[in-house]
Amino acid sequence: MANANHENRAGGLTPVDSYGGAVVAVGSTVRDDAGLILTDRPGESAVLVGVEFDGEPGLLSMQDSLTELALLADTAGLAVLGQLTQKLDHPNPATFIGSGKVEELVLLVAETGANVVIFDEELSPRQQRQLEKVLGDQIKVLDRTALILDIFARHAKTSEGAVQVELAQYEYRLPRLTRAWTHLARQSGGRAGGASGGVGVRGPGETQLEVDRREIGRRIAHLKRQLEEIRNHRERYREKRRQSATPVVAVVGYTNAGKSTFLNAISDAGVTAQDQLFATLDPTTRRVDLPNGHVALFTDTVGFIQKLPTALVASFRATLEEINEADLLVHVVDISHANADEQVAAVEEVLEELGAGDKPVVTALNKADLLDRDDPAVQERLAQALQAYPNAVLVSALRGAGVADLMEAVASRLRQSMVPVRLLIPYAQGELVSRFHEYGHVDSEEYTEDGTRMLGRLPVEMAGRFRRYFE
């Protein structure tokens, strides 16, 4: 067997309390024939499977990644009963893990009574089908992508969010229809297996699978049209926003870093803030007063995560474009997390993918209240973080500590993104003086015979409208 030399390498099987105590199940999901979420069903429990590949270090260690996967499972309402790990040179084309590990997995599922197996990597349709065949019809086999899609579906509260999630679900599940739907063995217009029902009865000989794929293809096309309408609507809104010259700040960060708590701290956003991954999915925008008397629009964005499914990034592009349109990013970092640096790297990777890697950034080193600031090791770590990350400020969004300093940094950085101007505004255009005060930074103001001479800085887009008054 091609993979036989892999299955005896270092690996592990861990029952029950792998993460410091069993996670309490609060319910999980039931799917329709297409595999899309319908409702909750209590009592589902899972075994997790992690793989480490030689020469291909992940952003997180295998164990840290599995710990994160356990948190994702908890968010989806699954009780985690155990884990299985393996080191491999490359995935087994049939079952992802080696055949020996598959046998261990069968035993672990039987021992724990779990009815869901979740892989920390994305499985191919072939691998998923083969694993389900080995484990039996009563055991669901999911991968990290399917789990994240489940969570997104749970937390999408707006019609826009629902459309984006549904599209991602369909695109992920389309190649997996052979297992997801129960009626796929039937023939359309004839008996199973392609047996003829007679001339004129057999029809084109399409399998039910082909019919289903065509119908889902139509649904995908419909959802993409809806998202295009959403995208166009957002673009019209952004154009109006650009005309007002109000600066836009996008709040980004790893999931559960505290973005929603931060937005609540600086505004009356009332965004749901829970100690769960992806508790907030739908973006929220609020007008916020800055310390210098100006205003800015702050937009909360969906949290990022390592191994973020490509389908999600594509489906949420209409929403994530808000990041590209922003004048400034506030990157909220959970500085108390052991993998804070790795989480920052994951966020930066997605920002690069979106084409926003060169945006100006202010870094909020959040949850500083959870650290022992008297510990010399913690002090050194914080000092390094303050130097390493751009315009970094220590904050506790939950307690409000450091938030004022962070907003000062935001105002300062926005000012730096303005362009210097020297203007002579006629007295007949006095409203422009007011707009300069409202949206720009005035260094000096002089009243002359010909008008008001102003020296200061304006947002780039607004400066163009004052061009006729440049000196």
pLDDT tens readout for residues 9-64 = 334 444 333 222 223 233 333 444 444 433 344 578 999 999 999 887 788 899 99
Q: At what angle do helices 403-416 and 259-266 cross, to 10 degrees?
A: 90
Residue with the bigger pLDDT between 316 and 305: it is 305
The values of phi and psi at residue 140, to 5°, are -80, 135
Parallel/antiparallel/unpaired status of strands 328-334 and 361-366:
parallel
**Residue 96 DSSP one-character state:** B
* Cα–Cα dist 53/201, whole Å: 52
Q: Residue 249 belongs to what H/E stretch?
A: strand 248-253
CATH of domain 246-415: 3.40.50.300
- Arithmetic mean of pLDDT, 62-80: 92
The model's pLDDT over 112-165, given as tens digits with 9 standing for 90+, comes to 999 999 999 999 999 999 999 999 989 999 999 999 888 888 877 778 888 888
Is the pLDDT reported for residue 365 higher than 90?
yes
| 418-469 shares the fold of 246-415 | no
* Domain residue limits, the chain: 11-154, 158-226, 246-415, 418-469
Superfamily of domain 11-154: GTPase HflX, N-terminal domain (3.40.50.11060)
List the helix and strand counts (H, then E) for the chain.
15, 16
Which pLDDT band holds residue 100 (cuts at 50, 70, 90)? very high
Which pLDDT band holds residue 325 (cuts at 50, 70, 90)? confident
Is the pLDDT reported for residue 272 higher than 60?
no
* Cα–Cα dist 220/318, whole Å: 16
Which pLDDT band holds residue 179 (cuts at 50, 70, 90)? very low
Max mean pLDDT range (196-210, 305-319, 372-386): 372-386
CATH of domain 418-469: 3.30.70
Whether residue 50 contacts residue 118, with contact meaning beta carbons closer than 8 Å, is answered with no
DSSP string of 299-359, one letter each residue: EE-PPB-TT--HHHHHHTHHHHHHHHH-SEEEEEEETTSTTHHHHHHHHHHHHHHHT-TTS
What pLDDT shows up at residue 230?
A: 82
Structure tokens at 27: 């319910």
What pLDDT shows up at residue 284?
A: 79
What pLDDT shows up at residue 242?
A: 63
* Short-list 238, 237, 239, 245, CA closest to 462: 245
Max mean pLDDT range (141-150, 267-276, 277-286): 141-150
Is the pLDDT reported for residue 211 higher than 80?
no
Residue with the bigger pLDDT between 329 and 41: it is 329
Whether residue 395 contacts residue 347, with contact meaning beta carbons closer than 8 Å, is answered with no
- Arithmetic mean of pLDDT, 437-447: 89
- Percentage of the chain beyond pLDDT 90 is 44
Which pLDDT band holds residue 241 (cuts at 50, 70, 90)? low
* Cα–Cα dist 295/175, whole Å: 48
Residue 295 pairs in a beta bridge with: 289
Establish how many alpha carbons lie within 13 A of residue 8's alpha carbon, considering only the half-sphere containing its beta carbon: 3
